[in-house]
Structure 1
Amino acid sequence: MVEQALRMKGLTSAIFSQVDEMRKAELAKGKDVITLSIGSPDMAPAQHIVKALVEAANDIGKYGYTLSKGVPDFLTAVANWYGQKFGVKLDPEKEVHSLIGSQEGLAHISLCLTNPGDIVLIPDPGYPIYSAGPLMAGAELYYMPLKRENDFLPDLEAIPESVLKKAKIMILNYPNNPLAAVASKDFFTKVIEYAQKYSFIVCHDFAYSDLVFDGYRPESFLSIPGAKDVGIEFNSLSKTYNMAGCRVGYIVGNAKVIELLGRLKSNFDYGIFYPLQKAAIAALTGPQQCVIDTSMKYQIRRDIIVEGLNDIGWNIDRPKASMYIWAPVPTDQSSVKFAADLLYNTGVASIPGVAFGTFGEGYIRFALVQPENRLNEAVRRIKQWIG
């Protein structure tokens, strides 16, 4: 008999699994399903990235362990990229560490910084790993509501001081998944003040740093004075360079935190396959027109969904960044029931907002991971059903 460990009881993928099973059931019936549920990029990496990967993969001497920190050229490429993009000065040796995808780092960081009973401040709605990692570490979760009336930013003043005194980590994510919300320099400055006052570490997930629209430029948390004293930033090549399956990410920022995570990872893994790191170096140091092109494609996709659905009175905000649309449920149904009806009636698969937390109820998330013709078809079907 297999007995589940107690730490597993807080982990669930129920709603995500439920949605995917419904999607598969519709496909099995022969239905043409337009999948806007899973946020997996459908675009390919630029050719110079693929070329670097292939050339390195053909080097039979590069199939050994690389060790978890990352090869020096990769660490330097990350540091230089941050300096050029955001004006953040990083020491490649002490302030950069590779990750097997940014999610891996987010999963493990609580093991480095919390003891059972410590509090981790979690955004709600939020990406599921933000909760899963602390739960596995035995930490307690305090959910920070992200509400539209507060621009989907946590209300720091609403967090009880008793909670702040026990907090060891605050997790933030801007540009945001699933909300497609953004944060200002003023907000990050206030977060740093709180972190300094209450001695917690800020973990900022910056995975959507380059999927930006209409000239918007996001702030790196580390670009704010004092941020490196209290924080770290996670980033990834998955979305920026369409390399999601490669699982190449990194953590930058506070040297002590990075040393702790590096020590943990040295016991957990042997690093990223060398050819993948070579591809990542090519991405970070090579021509950046591919990033601009990717962002523009997402902007066009955003406009198809937002403008098309606003035409029928479905009031959806036009996000400045990310690859998602956070849409209020236009009926009096729950987000799960509406997402199911949307799938059954139109063949358009989405994720109900409650999958991301209690405060996600009342919304659904569309991922902009289909080409323009499919998104136009999705809008046509929805208009026919609702309009």
Structure 2
Amino acid sequence: MTEDFHRIRRLPPYVFAEVNQAKAAARAAAEDVVDLGMGNPDSPTPPHIVAKLIEAVQNPDTHGYSASKGIPGLRRALAGYYSRRFDVDLDPDTEIVATLGSKEGLANLAAAISSPGDTILVPNPSYPIHQFGFIIAGASVRSVPHTPDEAMLQALDRAVRHSVPKPTALIVNYPSNPTGLMADLDFYRELVAFAKRHSIFILSDLAYAELYYGERKPPSILQVPGAREVAVEFTSMSKTYNMAGWRMGFAAGNKRLISALTRVKSYLDYGAFTPIQVASAAALNGPQDCIEDMRRLYRERRDVLVKGLHQAGWAVPVPEAGMFVWAEIPERFRDLGSVEFSKLLLARAKVAVAPGLGFGEHGDGHVRIAMVENTQRIRQALRGIRHFLQVDNGGPATASASVESVKS
């Protein structure tokens, strides 16, 4: 019966489902699979944040409905973070709204600002909600290059000239999920100038702002003078403080967009559980050494993973930021596509990765490898991959052979 529902018809089959099914089957057969597929942090939330949650939840006054836009103390804490980190002063009452994770915030803003027939510009590949949040809302999506460079700017110019109606908004995500690419302030200046010329909103996803490995820190688009006239930015507690399951994020920036998101949310939710908001404020206001600990952990994992893949003969880039390696499929398996290659890697190497097709058709030549296991498990995964790539040279060269290998 779901074929009758228009919005469901616009959603393709879930790309990750085939790999997830194969992974479940392998585990049901008692196979030890190293899961580097989902970007789910494996480290615990820092103790002082958990302690604040416990303290708050013991107060019965916190057990009722909360504030949909976020309790005032939490919004002030996010404003403090932007002031310290980016030297950007935000009004916590009119320029910040708390969300149930950045994913929910993006989806609800899509519902607030787009209608059937609207065009939204989305990098391809990119995180699925960037595209499908707007597709669910009824809008049309036009793909643009994912690289923060002249190629994207030229594609944006073509999109504005040739899209009818003119695009409503542009999504950007740097550091990028899945590619790990970073943008600089010069690129954001160009982007803001472009958006102002054409009266287009910019929605920036900055979920990986604190997960970087060199001296260069990811900037905020809101650092560009005048950016708040056209831009809103989404951040998240998930990766910065290992709070993925807590579902706490934020939108900040353009007052009109923040007002629209706040109004839609007021009809849909009562906000996150108050103790979670209190603990999130404590995270933002409290000691930040846990963030550097998190960076060191992921940097060590990144270095082990990249070095091991290179030694196995799989040339992959070294990500500057994020928690993923965006790896081009080795040449002799490239014709398989990312879904069949991911299933083959699971069957032969006992390693689960995310097929690049799940991030857009232009990602189909890649897989995303998440750094979400400890170094011992990563080394185990590397042994399986090395054996698969270097010893099993009789591997399949066609998709049909790949399917048979998974079945066998």
Per the TM superposition, whether the score is higher than 0.5 is: yes
Indicate whether 1:335 and 2:338 are aligned.
yes
Aligned length: 387
Provide the C-alpha distance between the structure 2 equivalents of 1:2 and 1:151, rounded to a whole number of angstroms. Answer: 39
Change (3 A) 1:13 1:74: farther
State the Cα distance separating 1:164 from its structure 2 match.
8.1
Q: Which amino acid aligns with 1:93?
A: D
Q: Is the 8 Å Cα contact of residues 148 and 183 (structure 2) preserved in structure 1?
A: no
Residue number in structure 2 paired with 1:194: 194
Q: Distance in 2 between matches of 1:203 and 1:136?
A: 17
Structure 2: state its 5+ residue gaps: 391-408
Identity across the alignment (%): 39
Give the corresponding residue for 2:347: 344
- Whether the 8 Å contact between 2:148 and 2:187 is mirrored in structure 1 is no
After superposition, the Cα gap between the structure-2 partners of 1:148 and 1:43, relative to the gap in structure 1 and judged at 3 Å, is same
Deviation at 1:313, TM superposition (A): 2.6
Deviation at 1:2, TM superposition (A): 5.9
Distance in 1 (CA, whole Å) between partners of 2:363 and 2:170 is 19
- Relative to structure 1, the CA distance from residue 164 to residue 368 in structure 2 (aligned partners, 3 Å threshold; closer, same or farther) is farther
Deviations 1:111-160 (A, max 9, x none): 22222211111111111111221112211111113269979888434435
Aligned-residue offset at 1:284: 0.2
Pairwise CA RMSD of aligned residues? 1.8
TM-score (normalised: structure 1): 0.96
1:35 matched to 2:22? The reply is no
Contact persistence 1:207–1:235 (CA under 8 A): yes
Structure 2 distance, partners of 1:181, 1:22, is 30
State the partner residue of 1:139: 139
Tell me the equivalent position of 2:319.
319
Query: 2:11 matched to which residue of 1?
Result: 11
Matches of 2:19 and 2:275 in 1, distance apart?
35
Aligned to 2:215: 215
- Cα distance change on mapping 1:149 and 1:233 into 2, 3 Å: closer
How many Å separate the matches in 2 of 1:326 and 1:349? 14
Identify if the C-alpha distance between structure 1 residues 148 and 316 changes in structure 2 by more than 3 Å, giving closer, same or farther. farther
Judged with a 3 Å threshold, the aligned counterparts in structure 2 of structure 1 residues 148 and 289 are, in CA distance, closer, same or farther, namely closer
2:361 is equivalent to residue 358 of structure 1: yes
Moved more, 287-296 or 2-11: 2-11
**Matched letter for residue 275 of structure 2:** P
Give the alignment's TM-score, normalised by structure 2.
Answer: 0.91
The answer on whether the counterparts of 1:120 and 1:167 sit within 8 Å (CA) in structure 2 is yes
Aligned residue identity for 1:9: R
- The residue that corresponds to 1:377 in the other structure is 380
Show structure 1 runs of 5+ residues with no match: none
State the match for 1:287 in structure 2. Answer: 287
SS of alignment partner, residue 318 of structure 2? coil
- Distance in 1 (CA, whole Å) between partners of 2:201 and 2:374 is 39
Q: Please say if residues 160 and 166 of structure 2, whose CA atoms lie closer than 8 Å, have aligned partners that are also in contact.
A: no
Q: CA distance change for structure 1 residues 259 and 147 in 2, over 3 Å: closer, same or farther?
A: closer
Superposed, 1:64-143 pairs within 5 Å as 64-143=64-143
- Residues 199-236 of structure 1 show CA distances to partners (whole Å, capped at 9, x for unaligned) of 11100000000111022301111111121110000001
Q: Which amino acid aligns with 1:26?
A: A
